[in-house]
Chains A and B, each alone.
Chain A
Amino acid sequence: MDDIASLTAQDFKSDVKPIWCPGCGDFAVLTALAKALAELGRPRETIALISGIGCSSRIPAYTSVYGFHGVHGRALAVATGVKLARPDLTVIAAGGDGDGLSIGGNHFLHACRRNVDMTYILMDNQVYGMTKGQASPTTAPDWCESKLTPSGTGVSPVAPLHLALASGVNFFARGFAGNPNELARLVVAAINHPGFSVVHVLSPCVTFRSEQRAWKQAVHSAAAAPAAHPGEALARFADDDGFTTGVLFAGDREPFMPARSTTMTARDFEHGFAVRPRPGALAAAPAAL
């Protein structure tokens, strides 16, 4: 087992070189995650990091914990299976806005309402990077840089905060890749909070959305302590500009974990199917026939 006390943030990184572009916000997310895991002080083998497909979904390979890099959009479903089967593990899912809110949008909704005790790091850059720059569900309707939608999408973007609150999320924080120390604190708080917690990370794409470099000037810290009721949070952030960072909501719903016992074995169920001919029935039947 890992000697917990001596583990540094570096120990939570692997020797695999990321495929990310120089300057990508996801480097800072990896740094913040490693820092958060070192701070939490749990052995590496007790942590599972689950992802789908996309630039940010490559993150498990760059860490030294157990990881699962699955298919596009299903990270939360895989993570749910891991946590329900193994409540002793610390389970983190990670991925991008397309993976989590478009192809995997249904799982996001149901992960919020199911409230399994795990954390989702949603790295939002408002673009599909791996397929070379298409609009995502969080892209503004008038963004015209994609050849697929040269006149813009004309479609309203999803607001992850509002979607999560409406779906019953138990914890929602927003961080910025440009502030990895704050982000690390948010990840620690999210993991420590019981139930399903979301850390929405503004993680700029310098390749296809170079204008996102200006996010540094746009972000601002939440003014108040987190709301404790979804309605209160919805009201407070009804006109949110999407750049408020900090813990925005912390609820107190009971996490989902089905009760189980081991009072029977598989073989015990065989008795329920056995038919016991009535004493005398075998003798009586031929006469009746």
Chain B
Amino acid sequence: MRAGEILLEVAAMAGFYGLMTRAMGPQIRGGEAAALLRIATAPVSSLDDHFDLLVALDWANFSRFAAELPLSPTSVVVADPAEGEVPQAVVASGARIGRLALKDLARTVQGGRTNMVGLGAAAAIIGLPSEIVAAVVAGQLGRKGEAVLAASVAALKAGADAAAALPVLSRLAAPPHDGVARWNISGNQATGLGALKGGVSFVAAYPITPATEVLEWMAPALAKTGGMLVQAEDELAAINMVIGASFAGAPALTATSGPGLALMIESLGLAVASETPVVVVDVMRGGPSTGIPTKSEQTDLNIAVNGLHGDAPHLVLAPNSIADCLFTTQWAVGLAETLQAPAIVLSDQALGQSRAIIAPPREPPAASGRLTVPASYHVPAAYRRYAETDSGVSPMAIPGTPGSTYVADGLEHTERGTPSAQAADHATQLDKRARKLEGFDYGGAWADIEGEGDIALLAWGSVTGPAREAAAQARARGIRTRLISLRLLLPAQPARMAEALRGVRRLLVVEQSHGRQFHKFLRGCYDLPAEVAVISHPGPLPIRPAEILDQLAAWE
């Protein structure tokens, strides 16, 4: 994994864009793992249909990854003869096999490591400048001391020299001389940064794969920006600590994955009823139950949208790229604060634990923020925390504000917050809580809409990457294709969707779930064109651009 991160940083410093995802088993430490990279001259948001280069450090457990590592006859496979026979699946792909004694070469260097030999070979085959490789390795391993660094540099050189004898790879074009700044960031880091930029100052959370890196990045960052991260005893505590902190005035967030979201659901209803803004980031993984913790799937959509009991209007948003993790999380914090409602942000393992070289992310629309009762305000009579207003948003008194004490309540209540079981109070408060979300103007950020044509792709979250790629390939073939990627899932935006779908005759829905959760969601919320096809398969296999393109081509 370290070698993959170094290779990505090298590509960035050489002026390229790129993406690195990772595939790993359930091991605690070590064990089988693969770093999957794509290097390109423009930003990329998905892996390609096959890999051009596979450096196999060993073949043990390769079969567990084989399905995630598609190869073609133009691919080059670097195989170490010491690791035994090349697996049949690799041979069958027709890829060119280049034999390189990685382990033996590592042994020729004092303290040399096989992965550094492989990295040197990979960089040479791709054509990345060796001096940049050496500089990045020095930057990342320098702290480990001169001996380690010298061994690494020697191992890199051994790999690069030996690679000269291997088959030639179809070469990358020159990197763009665009002078555009680049960021090297993972989705989970971008989520954390988005939260921080959105103003979050309190995080409580319970560790869970694949969300933990959000928390690991945020803990020291919060401590330096006047906030804090608290490790809670479980997800029930985490969501309720966050609700408490927000009630007390601090913009607050927790991050979790499916099992944790399930535990938090009851209290998300409390946030709805008590009108307490909170953000829950769910980095989705394969489910149900413990499922596949280390691999991605878009299958928490149902629970995020429909999991709350009662009529409980709330926000659900989904980032659709690594860069967008920042945009969408920051936007979600602003919306939750402005609308005094909980927001669920559905990221996933494929975004969260992947790393990309990107252009600096754009900023979400400015949020007006939480409407509070000013400290100087003289409340004439009893303060009405849940007062009916045109927008449905009522001024919130933060503890410490004199003259406007109240009790926030998960029981249905009057405008003052006094518990009430009366039909009229229930109807009034239900209307108010629905109105404040449905009546708000979310602007153009509700979806990314790209291209024109009477064929449209409708996607959300991480499958937007391959959908975007397929749309670009289709356009290059003369197939006019529109891409609609929803960022705001709840509340639904029927008028905007009707506009986005205007003129569309055929619609291809793309999602990573076995139960077609997204398609069912769309059917429940929107009027869709007469002809709809769905590409839907479960994780952990990513959706590939080619299967989307095949459907578009069949239609054309």
Binding site for B on A (CB under 8 A): 1-2, 16, 43-46, 48, 50, 58, 60-61, 64-71, 73-74, 77-86, 88-89, 106-107, 109-110, 258-267, 269-270, 273-278, 281-282, 284-286, 288-289
Contact = CB atoms under 8 A, between A and B. Distances in A.
B234 interface: yes
Contacts of A48: 247-248, 399
Contacts of B26: none
Interface residues of B, number: 82
A252 B129 CA distance: 62
B172 interface: yes
Contacts of A70: 240, 243, 267, 270, 274, 410
B244 A68 contact: yes
Contacts of A66: 397, 399, 405-407
Given A74-B267, A281-B129, A289-B174, A110 B408 contact: no
Given A46-B399, A269-B196, A275-B182, A264 B242 contact: no
Nearest to B185: A273
A278 B16 CA distance: 12
B174 A286 contact: yes
Given A48-B399, A88-B400, A286-B174, A81 B245 contact: yes
Contacts of B266: 71
> Which 10 pairs show the lowest CB-CB distances between chains A and B?
A81-B244, A67-B407, A77-B240, A81-B241, A85-B245, A286-B174, A78-B244, A81-B245, A262-B226, A85-B250
Contact of B243 (A81, A84, A89): A81
A266 B248 contact: no
Interface in B142-182: 171-175, 177, 181-182
A133 to B, nearest CB: 21
B315 interface: no
Nearest to A276: B13
A65 B22 CA distance: 52
A289 B171 contact: yes
B405 A71 contact: no
* Residue of B14, B184, B244, B417 contacting most chain A CB atoms (<10 Å): B244
A289 B226 contact: no
A77 B135 contact: no
A9 B224 CA distance: 42
Contacts of B473: none
A288 B250 CA distance: 53
Contacts of B94: none
A148 B228 CA distance: 44
* Residue of B177, B229, B269 contacting most chain A CB atoms (<10 Å): B177
B399 A86 contact: yes
Contact of A89 (B228, B246, B400, B402): B400
A168 B171 CA distance: 64
A260 B230 CA distance: 12
B226 A260 contact: yes
A78 B407 CA distance: 13
Given A68-B244, A107-B237, A277-B13, A285 B204 contact: no
B418 interface: yes
Contacts of B185: 273
A275 B357 contact: yes
Nearest to A77: B240
Given A48-B248, A85-B248, A107-B233, A67 B408 contact: yes
B219 to A, nearest CB: 9
A287 to B, nearest CB: 9
B419 A85 contact: no
Interface in B189-221: 189, 193, 196-197, 199, 201-202, 204, 221
B201 to A, nearest CB: 8
A67 to B, nearest CB: 3
B447 interface: no
Contact of A68 (B225, B247, B400): B247
Contacts of B183: 270, 273-275
